[in-house]
Amino acid sequence: MQTVQDTVANVYGAVRLPDSPADQAEFLGHRGHTFDVAVTSGRFGVGTELMQALPNLRAVVNFGVGYDTTDTRQATERGIAVSNTPDVLNDCVADTAVALYVDVLRRTSAADRYVRRGDWARHGNFPLATKASGKRVGILGLGRIGKVIARRLEGFDCTLSYHNRKKAPGVAYEYASSPVELARNADVLIVAAAGGPESVHVVDHEVIEALGPNGYLINIARGSVVDERALVAALLAGSLGGAGLDVFADEPKVPQDLLSMDNVVLLPHLGSGTKETRAAMAELTLANLAQFAADGTLVTPVS
């Protein structure tokens, strides 16, 4: 994102929104009407109040594939164009999902800690883990990223199923009519659904219960898609086998109970976090900005 910030400042004369709410209010009160493009990221977005404070806004150029932090309903009503950076991050996010999948089932991170603590020498061999290949895997959200995850797991000889709002054309994987059905027939549930109001807590207590004490949950989508309280409660009660989480409900805050669990792998929202992918995301973000400045259209508009 730093490359994007430097470029929009140097080339377009952009200014950064102040961090504190009080400074933001004063800044927007004086200058909000002067801006017609906002460049942001999936973490921050342009929410309802901020968008209202930008009366002449014409475009939101987003660094990242997720745009659930932007008020897309208001944008549509006002004719504000919104872009994101799809496809260029599919591989790395899918790799992160598979890394979490292997780590949670094989307990790789837990075994690493076991060695570092000196427990191997003191207590002997590490407890047995769970086989990663040949599992029944349900993918919640078989979109661009979900399909790449599925292709990788085919190499693990997994039996794959999925749930979307409707069946994906040209897909041979078994379709589940609901998230509960998907979880009930899976050993591992991978959450790759888009964020936003329509997907809040799609993975709720009932879905987690359907996975059961031998089931695992992997989330590389958005923290809002999973009922985090229900997830923590299930892990504490032993009614879920484990979880691999790259995203959380209130980032960067992570529920305290998760920090001491050896059957949970926690990542700091780094799904696309490689030099190559972030460079590609920056390039696409700047291409969207340049094209909008030139002719009022976007390279990758959000439909």
pLDDT tens across 7-54, in order?
999 999 999 999 999 999 999 999 999 999 999 998 899 999 999 999
- Residue 43 has a pLDDT of 84
Q: What is the mean pLDDT of residues 220-235?
A: 97
Q: What is the mean pLDDT of residues 71-88?
A: 96
Q: For this structure, is 251 an active site residue?
A: yes
Say what percent of the chain tops pLDDT 90: 95
pLDDT tens across 97-134, in order?
999 999 999 999 999 999 999 999 999 999 999 999 99
Distance between CA 109 and CA 214 in Å, rounded? 19
Edge-to-edge strands of the sheet including 81-83? 37-41, 59-63, 81-83
pLDDT tens across 257-289, in order?
999 999 999 999 999 999 999 999 999 999 999
User: What predicted TM-score, i.e. pTM, was given to this entire model?
Assistant: 0.93
- Statement: residue 197 has pLDDT above 90: no
Cβ-based neighbours of 235, under 8 Å, separated by 6 or more: 242, 243, 257, 258, 261, 263, 264
Cβ-based neighbours of 221, under 8 Å, separated by 6 or more: 140, 141, 191, 192, 193, 194, 195, 199, 247
Cβ-based neighbours of 75, under 8 Å, separated by 6 or more: 46, 51, 60, 81, 82
Q: What is the mean pLDDT of residues 179-184?
A: 98
Catalytic position from the list 49, 154, 198, 251? 251
- Residue 117 has a pLDDT of 97
- Statement: residue 234 has pLDDT above 80: yes
- Residue 174 has a pLDDT of 98
Q: What is the mean pLDDT of residues 183-205?
A: 95
In the chain the domains, ranked by start, together with CATH numbers, are 2-88+274-295 (3.40.50.720), 90-266 (3.40.50.720)
- Statement: residue 303 has pLDDT above 80: no
Phi/psi for 300 (5° steps) reads: -130, 75
Catalytic position from the list 107, 184, 269, 278? 269
- Residue 2 has a pLDDT of 81
- Statement: residue 196 has pLDDT above 90: no
Answer whether 62's CB lies under 8 Å from 40's CB: yes
Cβ-based neighbours of 205, under 8 Å, separated by 6 or more: 227, 230, 233, 234
Catalytic position from the list 107, 163, 184, 222? 222
pLDDT tens across 142-156, in order?
999 999 999 999 999
Q: How confident is the model at residue 3 (pLDDT cuts 50, 70, 90)?
A: confident
- Residue 63 has a pLDDT of 96
